[in-house]
Amino acid sequence: MNAIVLLTDFGTSDAYVAQMKGVLLGEAPDNPVVDLSHNVEPQNVAQAGFLLASTLPHFPVGTVFCCVVDPGVGTDRRLVCAASQGRICLAPDNGLLSLVLERDANARTHDLTSFAKRRPDSSATFHGRDIFAPLAARLARGSSPESIGTRIDTSELVILEPACVSEKGDTITCRVLHVDRFGNAVLSLPDTPWSETLRGWNGIRLHDPEPGPAVRASSYTQIGRQTLDLVTTYAELSAGQAGILAGSQGYMEIAFNGASAAQALGLHPGDQVLLSPTSAFPAS
């Protein structure tokens, strides 16, 4: 039985998630339902996209991911799905699938908006329960996206600004994709090839972009020119030493041992940070 995985910004205090599960129990009673997270920051599409992309390969082939972070509910935004690595991801067409598509050039995408039109009794404000859940149930029970909607080219989907990995001379510019409960800051640098690249450097410095309107002054101050130890596990870091490692989510992470890197360095999801080899700087 294909699993249905739920990813929303509904929180766990309201009845919204339970109402989706009630619909799923009615329409796909034998399919297991698993929570990915319901604590996505309200309407934070990029955060949901990261959680989805990093989790997708850890579920069995056939799993349907039902993603409802949907600031545009009630507008004419489309309802789309991407088939990637044998799993199906269902989401509003608002960029939530960007990272899944960035990682898989072979993903196939469909426009399933017409399904919503066949649900005239749907509420205007809660498509998660009234549209997404019954649609996920149908997909999990084996209906193909082709049988429900229309194939569209991947390039037609809304895509968030790319993760901004760029290189200028020796300097890499990237973004903080996520900060986890322990304060580890996941960077938009896939562990392949970046783990290898950084290993070739003779020391790693983390620094903020040049100050400017887009750069939070506080962040700049806190990072300064921090050196990062390239390690394999958190435990290798001595107290107070910032490190960088190939984390478990498929990306390079900035971490401390037993402390929050995000707090120590003032890093937040979405922040831009720069990495350079130590040799790029004059001795100081």
Residue 81 tokens read as 């799905």
Q: Are strands 166-168 and 171-179 parallel, antiparallel or unpaired?
A: antiparallel
Shorter beta-carbon distance to a copy of itself: residue 23 or 275? 23
Minimum Å distance from CB 240 to a copy of itself?
16
Does residue 235 touch a copy of itself according to CB under 8 A? yes
Determine which residue in the list 102, 171, 173, 180 makes contact with a copy of itself, applying CB under 8 A: 180
E-only strand ranges, the chain: 4-8, 33-37, 64-68, 79-84, 87-92, 108-111, 150-152, 166-168, 171-179, 185-190, 204-207, 225-230, 243-246, 251-255, 272-277
Do residues 57 and 26 make contact, with C-beta atoms less than 8 angstroms apart? no
Shorter beta-carbon distance to a copy of itself: residue 19 or 278? 19
Helix (H, G, I), strand (E, B) or coil at 208: coil
Does residue 60 touch a copy of itself according to CB under 8 A? yes
Q: Kindly determine how many residues on this chain lie close enough to bind a copy of itself according to the rule CB under 8 A.
A: 62
Does residue 229 touch a copy of itself according to CB under 8 A? no
Give 280's DSSP letter.
Answer: G
Which of these ranges, 126-134, 163-171, 210-218, 270-278, lies near a copy of itself under the rule CB under 8 A? 126-134
Minimum Å distance from CB 251 to a copy of itself?
12
Query: Please, where are the H alpha helices in 7-97?
Result: 16-27, 45-55
From residue 23 to residue 42, what is the string marking binding to a copy of itself with x (rule CB under 8 A)?
x-xx--x--x-xxxxxxx-x
Do residues 126 and 18 make contact, with C-beta atoms less than 8 angstroms apart? no
Does residue 192 touch a copy of itself according to CB under 8 A? no
Residue 174 tokens read as 């990237």
Can you give the binding site for a copy of itself, defined by CB under 8 A?
A: 1, 3, 5, 9-16, 18-19, 21-23, 25-26, 29, 32, 34-40, 42-43, 51, 54-55, 58-60, 63, 71-75, 123-126, 129-130, 178, 180-182, 232-236, 245-249, 258
